[in-house]
Amino acid sequence: MAEMTYAAAGAAALAETMDADPTVWALGEDLGRGGVFGQYAGLEARFGAERIVSTPISEAAIMGVGVGAAMTGTRPVVEMRFADFALCATDELINQAAKARFMFGGQTRVPLTVRMPVGMWRSSAAQHSQSLEALYTHIPGLVVMMPATPADNHAMLKAAIQSDDPVVYLEHKNLWPMTGEVPDSAAPYSIGTAGVAREGRDLTIVTWSATLHDVLAAADRAAQSGGADIEVLDLRTLWPWDKARVLESVRRTGRLLIAHEAVVVGGFGAEIAATVAEELHADLKAPVRRIGAPRLPIGYAPTLENEIKLGPDRLDAAIVRMMS
């Protein structure tokens, strides 16, 4: 067992897979210096600049090179720096990486991991704060993963790199410094499995990424106040999502709230809400609800950012509403 940060857990996962498999390598801007958030710290010194590759500011090439290299016997880990910049490489990800296996009739595989830091973080404003997971959950051929803890960042990144299909791997910028236990000999993470972050009887909240921690705090407050005994599911993989686990929980509690940082309109919460509302129509004690950001670019000033964030007030109010 080791206590480490979410950033260090990512670095450790990458190092372990690089140790085990010489075809794993990473590419992105400034990786030699450890990456913008230190999530590659020490790796260039350990593996050399041939396997920890610092690249030009060429997102289309970073992604496209990843695709070509993945089809040529290597497992590239592509770093996009901010999820926002991955939009400079959308053709390469959506038209190429996601489709190659299918459109070439199974002749090739694209074992590519695309790391895209997401989320609001220190007044980063409209072009450095987005949570864009919903763009990728909609695209056939992509796996989408969002770890919420150091232990998960460790286990899930290893699983992503070992996946033979392309994985969009979204880490949250606010989580980099978060510390937690990372078990040495954890069971490998199985893609598509949610975690039960808290058990409860009255209400299921499905969430992911940094919002998990806000939701857990809200669940504790609700328990303290006697408002509700809440079950919190950390989805971890968005596609394929753990439908069985979510349905099982909602069948028990009869109530579902979905909470995410991304824009609610067209967010992945809509997929879960639509599915659960359809499948458990008769079992629900209350309508399925969603909570997240308004359909609004992210402002710079804290008073504006706070309007968008899922703060304690909005979470508590949503819980009260679910139980009333």
Tell me the window of 181-189, 205-213, 215-223, 290-298 that interacts with other proteins (CB under 8 A). Answer: 290-298
Residue type, 298: I
Residue of the chain from 67, 116, 146, 194 that contacts other proteins (CB under 8 A): 67
In contact, 142 and 239? CB cutoff 8 Å: yes
Give the alpha-carbon dihedral of 200, 204, 206, 210, to 10 degrees: -50
Closest separation in Å from C-beta 149 to other proteins: 21
- Residues with a known catalytic role: 128
**Rounded Cα distance, 126 and 70, in Å:** 32
292 is a site residue for other proteins (CB under 8 A): yes
Give the alpha-carbon dihedral of 172, 176, 182, 187, to 10 degrees: 30
Q: Which residues in the 28-67 window bind ligand TPP by CB under 6 A?
A: 29, 57, 59
Q: How many residues bind its own copies (CB under 8 A)?
A: 49
**Rounded Cα distance, 72 and 20, in Å:** 19
Long-range contacts of 185-191 (CB under 8 A, 24+ apart): 186/151, 186/154, 186/155, 187/155, 188/155, 188/158, 188/159, 188/162, 189/152, 189/155, 189/156, 189/158, 189/159, 189/236, 190/159, 191/143, 191/145, 191/159, 191/160, 191/163, 191/167, 191/237, 191/240
Residue of the chain from 5, 175, 290, 315 that contacts other proteins (CB under 8 A): 290
3-state secondary structure of 79: strand
Write the DSSP symbol of residue 87: G
Between residues 1 and 282, which has the closer beta carbon with respect to its own copies?
Answer: 282
279 is a site residue for other proteins (CB under 8 A): no
**Rounded Cα distance, 39 and 255, in Å:** 38
Between residues 8 and 143, which has the closer beta carbon with respect to other proteins?
Answer: 143
Closest separation in Å from C-beta 88 to ligand TPP: 5
Residue of the chain from 85, 169, 189, 268 that contacts ligand TPP (CB under 6 A): 85
73 is a site residue for other proteins (CB under 8 A): yes
Between residues 124 and 193, which has the closer beta carbon with respect to ligand TPP?
Answer: 124
41 is a site residue for its own copies (CB under 8 A): no
Residue of the chain from 15, 41, 88, 280 that contacts other proteins (CB under 8 A): 88
Residue of the chain from 96, 131, 149, 204 that contacts other proteins (CB under 8 A): 96
* Residue where the block lists tokens 């901010």: 82
Complete DSSP assignment for 158-181:
HHHHH-SS-EEE--BGGGTT-EEE
**Rounded Cα distance, 248 and 205, in Å:** 13
Q: Which residues in the 254-293 window bind its own copies by CB under 8 A?
A: 262-263, 265-271, 273-274, 277-279, 281, 284, 286-290
Q: Which two tokens stand for residue 275?
A: 């599915």
**Rounded Cα distance, 61 and 132, in Å:** 21
Q: Which residues in the 6-25 window bind other proteins by CB under 8 A?
A: 23, 25
137 is a site residue for other proteins (CB under 8 A): no
Query: Binding residues for its own copies, per CB under 8 A?
Result: 84-85, 87-88, 90-91, 94-95, 98-99, 102-103, 125-127, 134-135, 137-141, 239, 262-263, 265-271, 273-274, 277-279, 281, 284, 286-290, 294-297, 299
Query: Binding residues for ligand TPP, per CB under 6 A?
Result: 29, 57, 59, 81, 85, 88
